Chains A and B, each alone.
Chain A
Amino acid sequence: MNPLLLLFIPFILLQTQAFAQATIQGKVLDEKGFPLPGANILIKGSYDGATSENDGSYHFETDLRGSQVLVFKFLGFKTQEITITLDQNSLEIQQIKLIEEITEMNSVTISAGTMEASDEKKAVVLRPLDIVTTSGAMGDIVGALQTLPGTSTVGNDGRLFVRGGDASEVGIYIDGLRVGNAYGSSTSNVPTRTRFNPNIFKGTFFSTGGYSAEYGQALSSTLSLNTKDQSIRTQGDLSLMSVGGGYAQTFANDTQSISLTANYFDLKPYQKLIKQDFDWERAPYGWDVELSAQQKLKKGGLVKVLARTEAGGMKLWQPQPGADGRGMFVNLHNKYSYAQTNWRNSYENGWSLFGGISVSSNEDDLVIGSTSIERNNLLSHTKFTAIKYFSDRISMKVGMEYLTHNYSEKLKTENQQRSFEENEKYLFTEWDWYLSKKLVLRGGLRAGNSKLANESWIDARVSLAYQVSEYGQVSIASGQFHQLPIENFRAIDPTIGNSKSKHLIVNYLYQKEGVIFRAETFYKNYDHLIRFEGSPTNPTRLRNAGAGYARGIDFFLRDRKSIKNTDYWISYSFVDSKRSYNQYETEVQPDFAPKHNFSLVVKHFIQAFNSQLGATFSFNDGYTYTDPNESGEMNSKTKSFENLSFSWSYLPKPNLIIHFAVQNVLGRDNLFGFSYADNPNEQGVFESLPTVQSAPRFLFLGIFLTLSKDKTANNLNNL
């Protein structure tokens, strides 16, 4: 044999010996020391490994030798690695305890004072689709939110009233940026609605109080609307309705999308067919054009642009109590524009950044009788926010904001004007601390400064949530809130400062497979509310001398499971609220805070007819008003408000929807109060006129057609 070959034989033999297998075994447990079955144990860089058994034990064989890294992995837990030396045939590993990783989906969330409508998170009460399919809402976000607990329906107003607070106490945001004049301009008890079409939003976050330090300047609540990140496909959407029509064209690809919409509405043809109780000279009309674009940036990050401009108006005769004839002539014309752009990005190192700017511009030209007023309101909001996730348990949010606010009111015939220019600065920080999957604490501070009122202030906000059972949790939110007065008051006296409120909210939420139950109790107190002498149209001696409180409890139950093909929710709110404010010297129940509020919403799908039927019943026990023929303030109450609405959505083809809705089917003549003559008549009685609905019922018919290459696309979310 060749001597060299002899040298190789031992070498080859050594190699063969190295291929004997080594056994690795051990146990995997969770934090509490209980066995963790299903965990994945492996040697880094190789395919060797095993899965832990029901008792947490594992064992496997490997050919590897020397220093290796043993990795322990389980979805929902933090990965662990240990270094081992494979130099024997069998290796017993010490017991490994894996620690749970806290994520949004598996942990408790703060539910006190919040109602979310989105597809994303766990504790949502509404889906975005619910906003457009709720009967009686007529596709208005606020209309749908009024069926939730904590809100009151004020039928002659149309805005959002939360827990005994006025509509101006709700701050409205789109993508975190403030929206000025978010409601359409209106007058003379003609109800308004939000200007924005719900279909551009992927989620709505509505708070009933105790909201985050990120928001401010809203004594009662915030309504935060988040626009869609991207449109799915290129399509055209045509809408033909009994009140007008519109067209939207969307272009979309993987990284960008752009939508251009134009709408026109005119109630004149409708009012010719259906008798109205208001004396219209020119039915409400308006047009709007909107552009929205989203762009995914190459290195990550998303940029969005939203721009909208609209104009419209109405003319009507408002009868006066104690006088004959058609009354006072009212002519309103409005021009509004809104534009915002924002950018956000998340980074691997745990930082998330957001920056954005919004501008709202509103011009109202109002003629009431012989008075002609022009109001201009210009609001800009610049905001920058940074979020840092220090670990899966602690995160921090910091931000700064700068707002400018320019307002002017002109009496045209007298050529008088009053105006103000304001700028406000804010800094906020908020910390979330997850003590475990079941307990989270949140604390925040918000500091603000107003140049015009020459005031600085700081608010603290604290909340927590604790999971008490598999499906239930308890949550508490509290905080202080400041809000500067509404524009028309500040124009008269720019020195008046913030009103304040303090909230305490306790909430219980139970969620199990298609059923949600929510109970919430609250206490709010108000201070430094605006008080004046004289009348709301001509106030004098404005000062921060009002105070009040609001307390109560509400219940919400939603069930999508029990009855086949049926989704329903019931909500009841009890609000006991009194305040001295505006012209009221004593603490009275405001006319926007009925005590008992109830809503029942039902949606039923009939497969055989490709239809969804819906019905909504809303009730409250009436609105307070002052009858000068009696003594005292807010001494009377109207009869109860009842409204039954019905809707039918029919899908004959995948891309065609026909929608028919009737509001106040039973034709109940709801009253919202009484207006009284300034002076008593010859008999010494102050004559009155009831504040009524504009018509006994409202009927709506709409046809929505989607044109796209994908024949199954439809406009259901664009109702």
Chain B
Amino acid sequence: MKKHILTFALTLFYIVFAHGGDPAFIASMQKQLAARKTITTYEESQTVINGFLRIADASASEWLPYYYAALLKTEAAFRFDIDKDKSLDEALELVTKAAKIAPENSEITALHGYIVMGKISLDPNGRGQTMSPQAIQLFGKAINLDRENPRAVSLMSQMELGMSKFFGTGPEKACGMARMSLDLYKKEDAKITDEYILPTWGKMQVDQVVSKCK
């Protein structure tokens, strides 16, 4: 009798907990991350963003859903023929929400800088002077928060490359940082499993910087 009650209790336990909490969160995140790889139109991008926002609404203590929604809004601004400033502003709103949940987070800070870089690229003459210091400050902070974050180092190297072109100084510093970022990406690759939902993007951009260094 005791054995059956125990089996019953364990079965109930399994039924109740297997469909809620962490595994469900990870499963939903993986579903949207997989969908992210197949985006070809703005509408598809909007659908995946909304998917992340639904997860964000349901999981108030998680920063990743807002992070990815912000990242997708930023990528949409460059990929598709839409109101780019508006999309980047919406990305800023979302990354700020992520930062409220997880302050002093290296990935969120690096993404914030990436969005600022995007805003600068839309009006370099008008915004370059005031927003470049902000972007550099954010990347510096992201590196300080996590020296192994390949994206923070890669984005800083892109800013360095831009500045070196503008002032006519050599690309050595930018190239050094880009190569360091490549090493960090390799290290990160080793950590990736099926269940890995932390950010892994950005390697293509640093490859481009390194190609200009040869």
Contact = CB atoms under 8 A, between A and B. Distances in A.
B89 interface: yes
A609 to B, nearest CB: 10
A651 B168 CA distance: 11
Contact of A42 (B15, B57, B89, B140): B57
Nearest to B55: A47
A47 B125 contact: no
Interface in A603-656: 605, 607, 610, 651-654
Interface stretch (B105-113, B127-135, B188-196): B127-135
A71 B8 contact: no
Interface in A525-562: 560
Dominant SS at the B interface?
helix
B167 A4 contact: no
A48 B24 CA distance: 11
Contacts of A4: 1, 4
Contact of A712 (B8, B123, B126, B132): B132
Contacts of B133: 232-233, 710, 712-713
A567 B167 contact: no
B121 interface: no
Contacts of B96: none
Given A38-B46, A651-B167, A232 B132 contact: no
A233 B50 contact: no
A151 B129 CA distance: 28
B89 A610 contact: no
A587 interface: no
A717 interface: yes
Of B15, B50, B55, B137, most A-chain CB atoms within 10 Å? B50
Interface string B130-160: 1011101100100000000000000000000
B163 A712 contact: yes
Contact of B54 (A49, A129, A567, A607): A49
A493 interface: no
A38 B51 CA distance: 11
B43 interface: yes
Contacts of A374: none
Of A44, A51, A129, A565, most B-chain CB atoms within 10 Å? A51
Contacts of A2: 4
A710 B54 contact: no
A451 to B, nearest CB: 45
B201 interface: no
A2 B5 CA distance: 12
Interface residues of A, number: 47
Interface in A36-66: 37-40, 42, 44-51, 53-54, 63
A15 interface: yes
B58 interface: yes
Nearest to B86: A105
Given A610-B166, A653-B167, A51 B46 contact: yes
Contacts of A717: 129-130
A477 interface: no
A5 interface: yes
A714 to B, nearest CB: 8
Interface in B45-78: 46-47, 50-51, 53-55, 57-58
A49 B137 contact: no
A12 interface: yes
A654 B130 contact: no
B11 A42 contact: no
B50 A49 contact: yes
Interface string A267-290: 000000000000000000000000
A323 interface: no
Of A5, A49, A567, most B-chain CB atoms within 10 Å? A49
Given A4-B1, A75-B90, A105-B89, A42 B126 contact: no
A651 B54 CA distance: 48
Given A37-B43, A560-B125, A710-B137, A42 B130 contact: no
Contact of B134 (A40, A47, A232, A605): A232
Contacts of B4: 2, 4-5
A2 B43 CA distance: 56
Contacts of B58: 42, 44-47
Interface string B172-190: 0000000000000000000
A127 interface: yes
Given A47-B55, A653-B167, A40 B50 contact: yes
A301 to B, nearest CB: 18
Contacts of B130: 119, 129, 717
Contacts of B54: 40, 42, 46-49
A127 B126 CA distance: 8
B43 A567 contact: no
B89 A710 contact: no
B144 to A, nearest CB: 12
Given A105-B89, A567-B125, A712-B163, A73 B53 contact: yes
A45 to B, nearest CB: 6
Interface in B8-49: 8, 11, 15, 19, 24-25, 28, 43, 46-47
B15 A610 contact: no
B214 to A, nearest CB: 24
Nearest to B46: A38
A347 interface: no
Nearest to A603: B125
Contacts of A200: none
Contacts of A71: 57
A605 to B, nearest CB: 6
Contact of B125 (A12, A63, A565): A565
Of B43, B132, B133, most A-chain CB atoms within 10 Å? B133
A42 B125 CA distance: 42
B133 to A, nearest CB: 6
Question: Considering the complex of A and B, which 4 residue pairs feature the smallest CB-CB distances, nearest first?
Answer: A40-B50, A51-B47, A42-B54, A47-B28
Given A4-B4, A47-B24, A565-B125, 20 more contacts: A8-B11, A38-B50, A40-B50, A40-B54, A46-B58, A47-B54, A51-B51, A53-B43, A54-B43, A63-B19, A71-B57, A127-B126, A233-B133, A560-B125, A567-B125, A651-B167, A653-B167, A712-B133, A712-B136, A717-B129
